[in-house]
Amino acid sequence: MKPKKATIHDIAKKLSITASTVSRALNNNPRISEATKKAVFKVAKDLNYQPNNIAAALRSGKSQLIGIIVPRINRSFFSSVIRGVEEVANTLGYGVIVSQSYEKIENEISVVNSLLNARVDGIMASIVDNKTENYEHYENVIKKGIPLVLFDRTTKEIETSQVVIDDYLGGYMVTEHLIKQGCKKIIHYTSDRTINIYKERYRGYIEALKDYNIPFNQSFVFKNNMLLDGGRDSTEKLLESGQKFDAIFSASDYAAAGAMQVMKEQNIKIPDDIALAGFSNEPFTSLTDPPLTTVSQFPIEMGQAAAELFFEILDSTKKKVIPQKTVLHPELIVRASSLKKGK
Amino acid sequence: MKPKKATIHDIAKKLSITASTVSRALNNNPRISEATKKAVFKVAKDLNYQPNNIAAALRSGKSQLIGIIVPRINRSFFSSVIRGVEEVANTLGYGVIVSQSYEKIENEISVVNSLLNARVDGIMASIVDNKTENYEHYENVIKKGIPLVLFDRTTKEIETSQVVIDDYLGGYMVTEHLIKQGCKKIIHYTSDRTINIYKERYRGYIEALKDYNIPFNQSFVFKNNMLLDGGRDSTEKLLESGQKFDAIFSASDYAAAGAMQVMKEQNIKIPDDIALAGFSNEPFTSLTDPPLTTVSQFPIEMGQAAAELFFEILDSTKKKVIPQKTVLHPELIVRASSLKKGK
DNA sequence: CTGTTAGCGCTTTCAA
DNA sequence: TTGAAAGCGCTAACAG
């Protein structure tokens, strides 16, 4: 039933050479003659030889595996980042293990551990919200000398290479766009948790208002979970409050979708009565009615950039690597949800 | 910088016992006294010991890792299936490696190989379209005695356990629902590739028509890539053809979204002029305007079911396991896109 | 260009 | 209840 797999020793025996020669041939070591290489590859094929990466990993200490931690993979943004990472990792002969933290610190700690036990050669992560500011698990990774790169959801508390988009700029661009559409009373939805990216978008919002001499109004800012129901919630509260407003800038596409639902239910016209914009360019944003103005974060490029930083650390023979930070430029995607007539 | 990690030998030395005792203690072997166990765990903690799974895997031949292959992870359906698998795998101490085939047979072959090289204890896969009917890579897996479970996109050509939803029934339910809404000329969008699930949904469509004495019309069936642009394409062709119709049942939510876009552009009212339904219950379907009628496939449950079948194979000591097939029941989710007034 | 040798860290008979 | 010894399959000095 379970035929025992061929090893390099089997190949060696068949050719009356030694295992080390076979190993070298298989790894294309330049010091092996073409003739032996060819012979080795032929026999390997005949025996249906499959290298045992585990043995190689144990011996060499390198598993050729990278662990990626994201809050959840069913977000288009994160799965696209992963795709970007895979693109560059695969060409370099590295595989990728994807783990999800489901936004919970307990899970994050446990997956970091699993990844470490699986002896990944390094970790790339988008961290979860963490009010305790306890980053021990990640600091441990660094202490062990294992390359760590953070992307998107990062913190300066962890001293390692990072790649982010300029969320501040993104927030600024959306707000500026709404202002240029003639909006003066712009509501902002932001996260109720302490996640950097949302703070930055918020900062961009405030700064744009300032630059265009529009007074900032604290009661215009609503915090929610940045999901569909959070957006619905905030919008209901907003409408109940009776405040006048002419635009909503939600720092999340999902919350913007919630806002859209509630406003439609109340017969508020988008964009004529209220202009609406989200953030992230989730695929569904082009499918809503009206299509949603949003910001592209170039996730594939972010994955590639993260992988590049990662391999820089990995390749550096020198003990200390200065943490790098790559900042990507966001792009405003204007769609019908924020286009006032005659503009 | 890079402190060498503690091994069981370090623990053994500290306690003046042998590595084998430490190993047994760590694995909770009943033949070890509680006292030694306690001591071992204490020292392990002190030394910040992390087990080297790679060494264990090499020695035992078990990596405690399951490989999952899906077309792409940024489909809500697949990421939810993965979540279901993780739920049961993690509780049993197994980790999960996710690989994407991106719908290409070359990629599929190569990831199967990578997974095998990584010495996963088994593979769960949703296969790609494959007109050559060449399933050698999967048959190889079975031949090696490595548990294989197929889910969603399966084929009877591969003799192994499978879990699917009753796509035939799903197709039937949607069609029946449309008929009950008074529709008589129902268009069907199906895949232009030979993927089982779409054939089944198609079959359900035909059978429902038959049961309600509605003549089947071949010119009502459009094949496309089941993506947004495919749906747009088919809808444009459909409208150009000048055929009369009163409903569209798309076997994919994305293609249904494309149909919705084109119809809106042409000022066709949904559902009043044309009723529309998709398939899969992708999250965006509740966000479109009108919200899209669709079919839930219970992806998390599918993942759990697949994992259960998987561990059944794994646990079976007997050489031969009879391939099992789990069939899940789909659920029709009726939303505004298919609700005719007065019904 | 190839062979010898040792060992990565762990599990697991066999023996005590 | 614990120890001794062997070895999983591979790589990498070192030696020639």
A229 & A218 share domain: yes
What number of other Cβ atoms are within 10 A of residue B198's Cβ? 23
- The mean pLDDT value of chain A amounts to 92
CATH number, domain with residue B39: 1.10.260.40
Q: Is the CB of A275 under 7 A from strand D?
A: no
Point out the residues of chain B with pLDDT beneath 70: 1-4, 317-320, 342-343
Does A320 score more than 80 pLDDT?
no
A213 & A253 share domain: yes
Looking across all nucleic acid strands, the nucleotide with the smallest C1' to CA distance from residue A58 is C8
What number of other Cβ atoms are within 10 A of residue B79's Cβ? 23
The tens digit of pLDDT for each residue in A245-294 reads 999 999 999 999 999 999 999 999 999 999 999 999 998 898 888 999 99
DSSP output for A55-103:
HHHHHHS---EEEEEES-TTSHHHHHHHHHHHHHHHHTT-EEEEEE-TT
pLDDT at A1: 42
A93 & A137 share domain: yes
Q: Which phi and psi (to 5°) does residue A271 adopt? A: -95, 0
What number of other Cβ atoms are within 10 A of residue B320's Cβ? 7
CATH number, domain with residue B155: 3.40.50.2300
First-to-last alpha carbon distance for chain A, in angstroms, is: 73
pLDDT tier for residue A224 given thresholds of 50, 70 and 90: very high
- Asked if residue A201 is part of any domain, the answer here is yes
Alpha helices in B118-252 (DSSP H): 136-143, 167-180, 196-211, 228-241
Q: A79 at the B interface (CB within 8 A)?
A: yes
Residue span of the structural domain in which A100 resides: 60-165+299-329
A276 & A176 share domain: yes
Taking the model in full, what pTM does it have? Answer: 0.86
Residue pair B274/B256 in contact by the 8 Å Cβ criterion: no
B161 & B171 share domain: no
Q: B109 at the A interface (CB within 8 A)?
A: no
Q: A97 at the B interface (CB within 8 A)?
A: yes
- Asked if residue B191 is part of any domain, the answer here is yes
C-alpha dist (Å) from residue B302 to A88, A109, B169, B330: 32, 27, 16, 11
A134 & A118 share domain: yes
B308 & B264 share domain: no
Cβ-based burial of B74 (10 A; exposed 0-12, middle 13-18, buried ≥19) = buried
The tens digit of pLDDT for each residue in A23-72 reads 999 988 888 888 899 999 999 998 889 889 999 999 988 888 899 999 98
Cβ-based burial of B192 (10 A; exposed 0-12, middle 13-18, buried ≥19) = middle
Which of A4, A48, A62, A74 to mutate to probe the B interface, most B CBs <10 Å?
A74
pLDDT at B1: 40
Rounded Cα distance between A193 and A69, Å, is: 19
A286 & A254 share domain: yes
Strand partners, B294: B333
Rounded Cα distance between B188 and B207, Å, is: 13
Distance from CA of B325 to the nearest CA of A (A): 22
Name the 3-class secondary structure at A295: strand
B180 & B284 share domain: yes
Rounded Cα distance between B19 and A209, Å, is: 66
pLDDT at B74: 78
In chain A, residues with a C-beta closer than 8 Å to the C-beta of B119 are 52-54
- Asked if residue A139 is part of any domain, the answer here is yes
A161 & A187 share domain: no
Residue pair B10/B47 in contact by the 8 Å Cβ criterion: yes
A108 & A192 share domain: no
- Asked if residue B23 is part of any domain, the answer here is yes
Name the 3-class secondary structure at B14: helix
In chain B, residues with a C-beta closer than 8 Å to the C-beta of A103 are none
A224: Cα separation from own chain's centroid: 21
C-alpha dist (Å) from residue A182 to A140, A235, A273, A333: 51, 21, 12, 18
- Asked if residue A270 is part of any domain, the answer here is yes
Does A130 score more than 80 pLDDT?
no
Q: Which of residues 244-303 of B touch A (CB under 8 A)?
A: 257, 260-261, 264, 283-284, 287-289
In chain B, residues with a C-beta closer than 8 Å to the C-beta of A83 are 74, 100
pLDDT at B76: 85
- Asked if residue B155 is part of any domain, the answer here is yes
- Asked if residue A160 is part of any domain, the answer here is yes
Closest of A238, A214, A219, A223 to residue A189, by C-alpha: A223
Residue pair A128/A154 in contact by the 8 Å Cβ criterion: no
Q: Which phi and psi (to 5°) does residue A222 adopt? A: -120, 135
Closest of A97, A110, A26, A91 to residue A68, by C-alpha: A97
pLDDT at B194: 86
Report the number of distinct structural domains present in chain B: 3
Give the angle subtended at the CA of A294 by the CAs of A291 and A300, to the nearest 5°.
115
Residue pair A332/A277 in contact by the 8 Å Cβ criterion: no
Nearest to B53 among A2, A98, A117 (CB): A117
pLDDT at A233: 97
Amino acid at B250: S
- Asked if residue B147 is part of any domain, the answer here is yes
What is the H or E stretch that residue A10 is in?
helix A8-15
% residues pLDDT > 70 (chain A)? 97
A67 & A215 share domain: no
